[in-house]
Structure 1
């Protein structure tokens, strides 16, 4: 089996399904036509720019440009985390936590994959590092967003119970423990659900892409198993870091609940 290249006409034909979505929105008066169009254009532009940037970085094979592009991805992840919050802590701390948790978790998982599992030469080859780091970062971002959103909303909802625990002498971690446990569970659910459904309900994107590119299905499955394990590990690290960080953001050093730091978007 050989790789089948897609032309511009093929992409236009594929876009017809998106046009059908717009027609459905018009028919039922959902008001999503503009959102669908903007999202599609944004996706095309972003992927085109990233593809050209990656092609250039791959040709350079430079660790400096690899790190710079990874930092750019982390900054974009931090913005997305903050943008997804219904209530968020103001200031640079929230942005730092939103970017730092998925970045650190994704970096650890990527370095582990490069050094201990895949072992490319050199180990920092951007052709391997950036795609894997992107998958780690994207899934860790989802987990981080869910944790922060759950922590802030549940802290507002359970304010009286939390302040009662604090008044009885509990530390901020003990007072927020039920909320933290719920947030960690919520943040871990997407990857756990994906792992449980993989192979039975769906074929993941990486495996599907490799098969379409002509890779043996067994080899593609091995890579997919490795990626899912790495994603689960990095998401777990990001979720825990985000949960602990959110406890610190929602309280102060005197173990007081500080909901005044929250702003409604």
Structure 2
């Protein structure tokens, strides 16, 4: 049986957003506007992507697939930049997050399409776009958290880092503790997701497959594969992003350059 909710049933589920808005007003939490904007964005974006995917899945055009992936990357790069309290100035603020997300997501997606899943053709948008979206979305979260943690850690511990530099440490030695803390912060979401999957939560993709009539064992194997891929994309992107940020926030004279941060 295929689950196909009507429009009114979808709108009915939005009653819980109204409940959340009421709680926010009652408790003075101040997230009514943000939640409303986020919900509207989601509806518009999902409606548009549904129309776009309908065309792309029919034509199986590599050019259109690449165009959709580029748009996804561009939006994800902005989201990484927007989620940071202190971000790198200039093109680095956007470019570092976008480039490292592209690296992590592309490496893992190409591996999956050519080694484990092997659709024909390998760029089949039915597989490539959802996989790229999952890799990109999770890498986006990890990289945004990691970069934000690194910038805040350096800002709060600048005296300690500079004292370490004064004792003869290189910039990489002095920045290593901050980079490790930032890496742990960025990896926490995917680690928690893997630890809880199957007992605490059933991932949306696996649930969707089961609801669509897929064999549960097949859905489980596919979900495990995807979780491994997501962890790989997040880890690769996060480590390269932190290395790039640390390089930018220091110089060849082994000085900390927090003037290259906003805020």
Band the TM-score falls in, shorter-chain normalisation:
over 0.9
Give the whole-Å Cα distance in 2 for the aligned partners of 1:202 and 1:110: 24
- Structure 1 position 240, deviation (Å): 0.7
Which position in structure 1 is the counterpart of 2:138?
A: 139
Q: CA RMSD in A?
A: 1.2
SS of equivalent residue, structure 1 residue 169: coil
**Which residue in the other structure is 2:149 paired with?**
150
Task: Report matched runs for 1:1-265 at 5 Å.
Answer: 2-264=1-263
Q: Distance in 2 between matches of 1:159 and 1:26?
A: 39
CA distance in 2, matches of 1:171, 1:73: 38
User: Which secondary structure does the structure 2 equivalent of 1:90 belong to?
Assistant: coil
Report the 3-state secondary structure (helix = DSSP H, G, I; strand = E; otherwise coil) of the residue aligned with 2:14: helix
In structure 2, distance between residues paired with 1:29 and 1:170: 48
Uncovered stretches (5+) of structure 2, i.e. residues with no partner: none
Alpha-carbon distance between aligned partners in 1 of 2:247 and 2:127, rounded to the nearest angstrom:
35
Deviations 1:181-237 (A, max 9, x none): 111111111101110001110101111111111112111111110000000111110
**How much does 1:245 deviate?**
0.7
Alpha-carbon distance between aligned partners in 1 of 2:168 and 2:188, rounded to the nearest angstrom? 32
**Residue 101 of structure 1: how far off its partner (Å):** 0.7
* Equivalences, count: 263
Structure 2 CA distance for partners of 1:181 and 1:30, relative to 1, 3 Å: closer
In the superposition, the TM-score normalised over structure 1's length comes to 0.96
- Give the drift of 1:13: 1.5
Query: Following TM superposition, by how much is the alpha carbon of 1:162 offset from its aligned partner in structure 2, in angstroms?
Result: 1.2
Query: Where do 5+ consecutive residues of structure 1 fail to align?
Result: none
